[in-house]
Amino acid sequence: MAKTRTFYQCQSCGYTSAKWLGKCPDCGSWNSFVEEKAVTGGRSSLRQPLSKTAPVSLQAIEGISEQRTSTGIGEFDRVLGGGVVAGSVILVGGDPGIGKSTLLLQAFSGLSGRTGKLLYVSGEESPQQIKMRADRLSVNAENIILLPETSLEGILDAAGKMSPDAMVIDSIQTVYTQELMSAPGSVGQVRECAAKLMLHAKRSHIPVFIVGHVTKEGTIAGPRVLEHIVDTVLYFEGDRGHSYRVLRTMKNRFGSTNEIGIFEMSDAGLREVNNPSELFLSERPQNVSGSTVVACIEGTRPLMVEIQALVSQTNFGMPRRTSIGVDFNRVNLLIAVLEKRAGLHLGGMDIFINIVGGLKIIEPAVDLGIIATIASSAREKPVEPKTCVFGEIGLSGEIRAVAQAEARLKEAAKIGFRRAVLPAGNAEKIRGNQGIEVIGVRNCEDFLNAVLL
């Protein structure tokens, strides 16, 4: 085989060098050099065209409905946009030990009855280890073939001979191609291997799942470098301390993003959680200050989550502000709104905010929940336990309408809430009885009067 020439390129400015350098002499950035394949003598897989194609008019293309196969795990299918699409490459990223291998083995178990052979390539665990886990998970192992291999050429060769109906690469950090000299897991290797796997998926029209570990910083050869290559990016998140795991879509060419699937890690593997709101509220304290339930929307699904706050006199000159699960800057902004518009004196107070269950909420509808929780803790007044809230707040204390109010109300009513305090702009538009008392508010002051006991 002809030896491939490689060079090192700065990822910030494009400066190239024959040797690896710690600091780019051109733009001065540190640790930005990545091994790349030389274009002469052979093309990078990324640039290789799939076939010689002529331009076609959009109108002339006949639509084909994409084939989707269910994995047998409802939450996983939902996140994928309704099942696995043939020919797609799905990256499953997450911290080591979060349950990526478990999830994919369970998905293969579900696929096993529906498709032909499935190839599980593991560079991390021996077939015996996988067998032990499969037994614990009671996997339907009928069609699952294990391949302990880390050379990409070996993997593609085996896949070519076997022509499986789906493939898992666990994990991309252990796979290497002989064309690059750098160690497995380096950015160049990860990107080149992923590009070749992508090509294989498109050519043989099978789904390929790629497992990628995220390092703490999310930088060094993290799956981030793959995000633009693959079709779907899923992140498996969760606290080690909690048993819930959230599978989140970051990118999906075959479905909506921001969809989440919720699982619980048990001794028999991952279990789907069909009623997450109940799970997240199961240990909620009643009639205690500093706890509010917000009706959020995650993707297409309404979710009731509890927000807690602790406001206490600071012991140091500089008050501490901490937020877990919501944006820190947003919390600071809301504290300023409370000071100015509701007359709360929070300047000498430490404030801690936490979303229960290790969830992360980014939508603005969570504002009213944060406001209510902080005010509740600061004034030592509990929020009425059967009341939930949602809505956005502006800097002048005005309460702004948010999307999908009816879906939120339905979920709240289902869980057993009796009152919902929401933006007047939303309340006016609600038609019919939602099975819950609806209270519309226009400003911060009215809002706090409506929710605090």
Bridge partners of residue 248, in order along the sequence: 235, 260
Return the range that interacts with Mg ion (CB under 5 A); candidates 94-102, 105-113, 424-432, 445-453: 94-102
What region, left, alpha or beta, does residue 299 occupy, with left being phi > 0 and alpha being psi -120 to 50 degrees? left
CB of 172 to ligand TYD, least distance (A): 12
Q: Which helix (H) or strand (E) segment is 36 a member of?
A: strand 33-37
Q: Please, which residue, 94 or 382, has the CB nearer to ligand TYD?
A: 94
Q: Which of ligand TYD, Mg ion, none has residue 34 at its interface (CB below 5 to 8 Å by kind)?
A: none
3-state secondary structure labels for all residues of 93-135 = EECCCCCHHHHHHHHHHHHHCCCCCEEEEECCCCHHHHHHHHH
Q: Please, which residue, 171 or 387, has the CB nearer to Mg ion?
A: 171
Q: Which residues bind ligand TYD (CB under 6 A)?
A: 94, 96-102, 133, 136-137, 265, 267-269
Judged by CB under 5 A, the chain residues 284 through 303 that form the site for Mg ion are: none
Q: Please, which residue, 137 or 430, has the CB nearer to ligand TYD?
A: 137
CB of 174 to Mg ion, least distance (A): 10
Q: Please, which residue, 212 or 382, has the CB nearer to ligand TYD?
A: 212
Q: Please, which residue, 24 or 92, has the CB nearer to ligand TYD?
A: 92
Site string for Mg ion, 95-124 (x = CB under 5 A): ------x-----------------------
Comparing CA positions, the residue from 375, 377, 386, 380 lying closest to residue 446 is 375
Packing angle of the helix pair 367-379, 444-451 (nearest 10 deg)? 60
DSSP string, 235-298: EEE--TTSSEEEEEEEEETTS-SS-EEEEEEETTEEEE-S-HHHHHHTTPPSS-SSEEEEEEEE
**Rounded to whole angstroms, how far apart are CA atoms 200 and 48?**
12
Q: Which of Mg ion, ligand TYD, none has residue 102 at its interface (CB below 5 to 8 Å by kind)?
A: ligand TYD
Give me the helices (H) in 16-162, please.
Answer: 74-80, 100-112, 127-136, 152-162
Q: Which of ligand TYD, Mg ion, none has residue 268 at its interface (CB below 5 to 8 Å by kind)?
A: ligand TYD
CB of 212 to Mg ion, least distance (A): 11
Q: Please, which residue, 174 or 426, has the CB nearer to ligand TYD?
A: 174
What region, left, alpha or beta, does residue 413 occupy, with left being phi > 0 and alpha being psi -120 to 50 degrees? alpha
CB of 211 to ligand TYD, least distance (A): 7
CB of 184 to ligand TYD, least distance (A): 16
Q: Which residue is nearest to Mg ion (CB)?
A: 101
Q: Which of Mg ion, ligand TYD, none has residue 374 at its interface (CB below 5 to 8 Å by kind)?
A: none
Is residue 376 a contact point for Mg ion (CB under 5 A)? no
Q: Where are the beta strands (DSSP E) in 253-408?
A: 260-266, 269-272, 291-298, 301-313, 321-324, 349-355, 387-389, 392-393, 399-400
Q: Please, which residue, 97 or 394, has the CB nearer to Mg ion?
A: 97
Interacting residues toward Mg ion by CB under 5 A? 101
